[in-house]
Amino acid sequence: MTPVLEVRDLHKVFGDLTAVDGISFSVNEGEIYGFLGPNGAGKTTSISMICGLLPPTEGEVLVMGLSIAEDPRGVKRLLGVVPQEVAVYEELSARMNLEFWGGIYGLKGKALRERVNGLLAQVGLDDRAAEPVKNFSGGMKRRLNLAMGLVHDPQLILLDEPTVGIDPQARHKILDIVKQIAADGRTVLYTTHYLEEAEDLCDRLAIIDHGSILAEGTVAELKAKLGEGSLLTVQGGFKAPELAAAAGAVAGLQPVEIIDGRGMLVVGRDGPGVSNALSGLFQAGLAFDDITIKEPNLEDLFLNLTGRELRD
């Protein structure tokens, strides 16, 4: 089966800066594919190349087999883009905004009215449809921003951080709508720097930083890269080499990050167990002020892959 989106060795260079450094991935029909990475990782630049806003320095983008370079109009007809900024006309009503964008794609008459009514209901703005958008809350504007990308019923929807700057309730609403879109058979490429969103929403994820994909897979597959087991975080007055040496002496204890005074270690499920691991560290003469034990998550994976936290 042809993937809905196929990205091959995509590069983007601005002068001395390599914003995107050879990313490749594909997204299948009905899938929500996440791009997880911090600000400046290259997510928006990648989206911009995929939707034809920026020409790639190198590489290829195929949407349902069509190349954006060779048939931009054909590809754009299949795309619905929801930009990171709320790109709406504030003076117009929600209905007028949707009618305009529908008209851009050639929708008119009854078909346009029905589509607009359906979308307004779907994003929960049907009771405020005639009001100027400038009166809306941030969450309502975000929902309209999303609806505007869906008005022509595209095959592939590119969502660039659609929940930035809104409250948890409004975010929850948007995530529900995205899930519904995917459930209706549409394909979604979703960029975010929120771990919880990525874990909750995405069927598959790519962790991206400095323009490169560091890891890709389902959430379970990515977590498994840290090894199954528990994540042990210790803090105290030790030096990094002391903890590294002590951890190396305990079989099945894998260091994730160790710095002076702080260490993160994975205790494998087939390893010594948390109690034995800690005993091993104590026997090495180390003392700790704080010990945390938890299941590893994507944040830990990101830290493991990049040496820094996602929100740095």
Residue in the structure block whose two tokens are 């994976």: 301
When asked if residue 76 is in the footprint of another protein (CB under 8 A), the reply is: yes
Nearest residue (CB) to another protein, 53 versus 293 = 53
Token reading at 185: 């058979």
When asked if residue 89 is in the footprint of another protein (CB under 8 A), the reply is: yes
Token reading at 260: 């002076």
> Distance (Å, rounded) from C-alpha 302 to C-alpha 72?
35
Residue 22: closest CA among 207, 211, 209, 160: 211
- With CB under 8 A as the contact rule, the residue among 4, 86, 208, 231 that binds another protein is 86
Number of residues counted as binding another protein (CB under 8 A): 24
Contact 227, 300 (CB under 8 A): no
* Packing angle, helices 94-104 and 138-150, rounded to 10: 20
When asked if residue 244 is in the footprint of another protein (CB under 8 A), the reply is: no
Cβ 122 to another protein, closest distance in Å? 20
When asked if residue 53 is in the footprint of another protein (CB under 8 A), the reply is: yes
DSSP string, 250-305: STTEEEEEEETTEEEEEEETTTT-HHHHHHHHHHTT--EEEEEEE---HHHHHHHH
- Near another protein by CB under 8 A, which window of 19-27, 50-58, 162-170, 221-229? 50-58
Half-sphere exposure of 236 (CA within 13 A, CB side): 19
- With CB under 8 A as the contact rule, the residue among 66, 69, 92, 284 that binds another protein is 92
Q: Binding string to another protein for residues 256 to 295, with x set by CB under 8 A, is what?
A: ----------------------------------------
Cβ 58 to another protein, closest distance in Å? 18
Near another protein in 56-75, by CB under 8 A: 73
Contact 245, 284 (CB under 8 A): yes
Near another protein in 115-174, by CB under 8 A: 148
Can you give the binding site for another protein, defined by CB under 8 A? Answer: 48, 51-54, 73, 76-77, 79, 81, 83, 85-89, 91-92, 100-101, 103-105, 148
